[in-house]
Amino acid sequence: MKRVLLSLLLCVVACAPQEQAHVSPPTEMYKMEAAQFSTQDGYVLPYRQWLPESKKARKNPKALIVAVHGFNDYSNAFEGVGQYFGQKDIAVFSYDQRGFGQTENRGIWSGEANLVGDLRQFIEALEKRYPDSPVFLLGESMGGAVAILAVADPTFPKVHGVILSAPALWGSEAMNFLFRGTLWMAAHTVPYKEFTGSDLKILATNNIPMLRRMAADPLIIKKTRVDAVYGVVQLMGSAYDKIPFVTTPTLVLYGAKDQVIPRAPIEVALSRFGREVDYAYYPAGYHMLLRDVQAQDVMVDVLGWMTHPGEALPSGYGHVHEPHAPVAFSLPQITAFAK
């Protein structure tokens, strides 16, 4: 029996989940160039920017949105967001997070410290470039979890607001115990094993042409390592734990037809905020709210929240959540999204 346990232990140690090296002490100053951002440890993050149309606003945008993409996605996720807000004199920036898009070691989980550290440096660089423009942080799915970890840190650069679109705020206690146990074992025995998830039959958006483009996009990760799934689950749990420490004005967006992040964990996550939070619950919304067929309606709400804080969202689907109060999503009798 002891030999069996020893063999299992050696197997677990030998096959520990792979993770990119943590950010080491700075070896150089971060540098923002035309299409890539070099971090203090020399890691290169390709990024995209969508600037306002007018020359005046390009130099001094009304606001900046730093958009953080979801799991297996990359910066191109915010093409529609960038085009829309560029017309409103607001600049949008998004980079490929470590391990995603065109970055080095693509597919290898980068770790929470790296994800938050890169975001910190990127925002600091933009604040130096545009000192008079307020910064808003937009996180989609996994990017929402990264955003929560960031703003919950009192040493993180202060931003004017954080927008969470279908955020991956799913505490481990809300997950099936068997799933968690199986995932842990798989990540520590066959971390290199890859899955496509195609058998899950999940529809992430009602924008079918966009889904087809994603399927053909080589920068979208199609096969996911088990240890990367383990990493993102750990990230979700960490973000969930940090929710009570968020003091930044927050807007949470969620769709009733989301098949990726269940409704119950989002409701529980909202109840954990220690400050007043705005949220919108869209009856026809899927996981990719900002890329759905009705995406512009959601972006109008985001713009309204950014420019007219305290006022009702244009869609009529907005709510104000009181600190630590229980949440149960309800749908008002409005048909604006039933198109």
In a domain, 3, yes or no: no
In a domain, 117, yes or no: yes
Predicted TM-score (pTM) of the model is 0.89
pLDDT, greater one: 287 or 18: 287
In a domain, 169, yes or no: yes
pLDDT of residue 200: 74
In a domain, 161, yes or no: yes
Q: Is 102 exposed, middle or buried, given 0-12, 13-18 or 19+ CB atoms closer than 10 A?
A: middle
pLDDT 10s digits, 73-93: 999 999 999 999 999 999 999
Q: Print the domain residue range for 172.
A: 28-321
In a domain, 337, yes or no: no
Tokens for 184, please give them.
């842990």
In a domain, 197, yes or no: yes
Q: CATH number, domain at 194? A: 3.40.50.1820
Q: Is the pLDDT assigned to residue 194 strictly greater than 90?
A: no
pLDDT 10s digits, 107-129: 999 999 999 999 999 999 999 99
CA 212 from centre of chain = 22
Domain count, the chain: 1
In a domain, 332, yes or no: no
pLDDT of residue 181: 78
pLDDT, greater one: 27 or 67: 67
In a domain, 4, yes or no: no
pLDDT 10s digits, 32-54: 988 999 999 889 999 999 999 88
Q: Is 171 exposed, middle or buried, given 0-12, 13-18 or 19+ CB atoms closer than 10 A?
A: middle
pLDDT, greater one: 5 or 29: 29
